[in-house]
Structure 1
Amino acid sequence: MIDTKKIVEAAERNLTGTDLFVVGCTCSAGNEIELTVDSDTSVDIDACAALSRAVEAEFDRDAEDFSLTVASAGIGSELRCLRQYRKLTGRPVEVLLTSGVKVLATLDEATDEGIVLSYEEKQLVEGRKRKQSVRVTRSYSYPEIKYTKEWLDFK
């Protein structure tokens, strides 16, 4: 079984000088390797194919047979690294907290400790009989977050 760390290291060497970065790498028992990359702008299929060829060239198929798939992190995929969070700053995201609460909000900031979200919430305002919609800003640490995804509204 091929070590995923070696695959990631080879990919990062080949991505130096580009805006692409490695998000994750998995390897099945049958040596089927999936390398996921993302970019600060966009990932095209030519970049994935070139990276696949470059990484495969660094390994000997005679020593160990493997299958390598290089794919981009899709729009609906979970964010896995700080660089992905920073890329989505100012955009709508869907966050599922470990408490089971789902939040649709704007990602205001991403730091090493956590994220800052702002969203509309109905709250009882002093002097009003009904709850009013109020813009709320809250911080969440990464351990509080089960997943975060980019939110696309098709309405």
Structure 2
Amino acid sequence: MNIEKRVTELVEEKIADKPNLFLVDIKFQPGGKLIVLVDGDNGIGIDDCVQISKHVGFHLEEENVIETPYNLEVSSPGIDTPLTTLRQYNKNIGRQLSITTTVGTKREGKLIAADENTITIEEKVKEKGKKAENIESAIPFDQITETKVIISFK
């Protein structure tokens, strides 16, 4: 049985009555560390993480899905975790992003919009001999290798 697939089913089952919560990622790492990342449109609290952990852990044990010792960790994605889902992008509209493209360039800008295919950012562009100006740029998801939220402590 595919561990990630079964854990996905269990998490989705547990959060089905909480439409503001969503699954971000599941990783089963070497050494038996099972990481489940769940987020919410308004964040996620520790109580929800505990409930998901109990539900997933109980069913994995009952069904003997993982035959070796493992450590289950349910949490929200850290601030340094790259964005991967459209819901994460939508949750972060208005925030500054750092985007690495498939050609290796880095771009920074304020996230204006996101849909299934593209994100739109407002970025400062300076041409030689001119003042920097803010322009809106659409970047297709298939040209993005990584997106992170920029945390400012100003």
Question: Please, what TM-score do these two structures have when normalized by structure 2?
Answer: 0.88
1:81-127 CA distance string (max 9 Å, x none): 11101111122111111222211201111111111111111125xxx
- TM alignment of 1:1-155, pairs within 5 A: 3-18=3-18, 19-60=20-61, 63=64, 64=67, 65-123=69-127, 130-155=129-154
1:2 offset after TM fit, Å? 5.6
Please report how far the alpha carbon of residue 32 of structure 1 lies from its aligned counterpart in structure 2 after TM superposition: 2.3
Q: 1:97 to 1:53 in 2, by over 3 A?
A: same
Residue range with higher mean Cα deviation, 140-149 or 30-39: 30-39
1:40 partner letter: D
Structure 2 Cα separation of the partners of residues 37 and 62 of structure 1: 22
Task: Report the 3-state secondary structure (helix = DSSP H, G, I; strand = E; otherwise coil) of the residue aligned with 1:132.
Answer: coil
Runs (5+) with no aligned partner, structure 2: none
Residue aligned with 1:143, SS: helix
Q: Deviations over 1:14-72 (max 9, x none)?
A: 01122211101011244321111111111222221111001112122683343211011
Q: Which runs of 5+ in 1 are unaligned?
A: 125-129
* Runs of 4+, deviation exceeding 4 Å: none
How far apart, CA to CA, are the structure 2 residues paired with 1:68 and 1:76? 21
Larger radius of gyration: 1
User: What is the distance in 2 between the residues matched to 1:90 and 1:16?
Assistant: 28
Q: Residue 151 of structure 1: CA displacement?
A: 1.2
| Count of residue pairs the alignment pairs up | 150
Alpha-carbon separation, structure 2, partners of 1:153 and 1:23: 24
Measured at CA, do residues 20 and 62 of structure 1 come closer, stay the same or move farther in structure 2, by a change above 3 Å? closer
Between the aligned residues of both structures, percent identity stands at 29
